[in-house]
A and B are shown apart, each in its own frame.
Chain A
Amino acid sequence: MKSLELFEGNLPVEKITNTWYAKYKESNYGAIISFVGVVRNENEIDGLSFDIYEPILNSWFSAWEEKAKKLDAIVLMAHSRNDVLNHESSFIAAVCSPKRRVALELIDEFVEDFKAQAPIWKYDIINGSRVYAEDRSTAIKGFGILS
């Protein structure tokens, strides 16, 4: 499994996290932290749906790999394309590091930056239609130069 992997529909959470654990447990990382995002049942949605622009997602992720490397850590990520129903997972992020404190801080920063900068668009699934989650979305740094 690659460090950044995209899946059609909901994520096979156990398979992904078990694969990462098996792959990295003998690499002398003292801390392996994973964050699993689960779709909540709220606002009468049936689930969420996602569009992803891979070229810029890949460069965003590569920049994070470089940042983690300087701390002797690695970052891992899985995300869904298209529909993910309530109570399923659409996003997993993980950090492996020799040091607990580095891993705890990095997972926080990594997930927050992901929410604000990764080129992924979210839609609510309501009565079978996709409705752009405009009020929960964040403009990417440098926005508005064409206005």
Chain B
Amino acid sequence: MVDVEFLGPINKKSIKVNISNLSELSEILKNDEEVATWLETCAVAINDTLVSKKDIELFNGDKISLLPPVCGG
């Protein structure tokens, strides 16, 4: 299982999903009304490292974070 957390304004509790890559996560989240509209603008981190492609193998216990657009300061 992989933990998926939704940061900042997405305002959704973490979920656990049984997936082996980010393409599978994409399919799940596209069907989730609360999250689908955020996908176009969200960056993604695996175990707190930002990633820029979907074809990365995931392992049991990995943590995926969705980071919506930011504005510090």
Query: A residues within 8 Å of B by Cβ?
Result: 37, 50-51, 53, 55-56, 59, 79, 90-91, 111, 114-123, 132-134, 136-147
Q: Is the interface of B mostly helix, strand, loop or mixed?
A: mixed
B66 x A146 contact (CB < 8 A)? yes
**B1 part of interface (Cβ distance < 8 Å):** no
B72 x A145 contact (CB < 8 A)? no
B40 x A140 contact (CB < 8 A)? no
- In the complex where A53-B67, A91-B73 touch, is A140 in contact with B50 (Cβ < 8 A)? yes
- In the complex where A53-B65, A55-B48, A145-B53 touch, is A121 in contact with B71 (Cβ < 8 A)? yes
B25 x A119 contact (CB < 8 A)? no
**B31 part of interface (Cβ distance < 8 Å):** no
In the bound complex, how far is the Cα of B21 from the Cα of A70, in angstroms?
A: 37
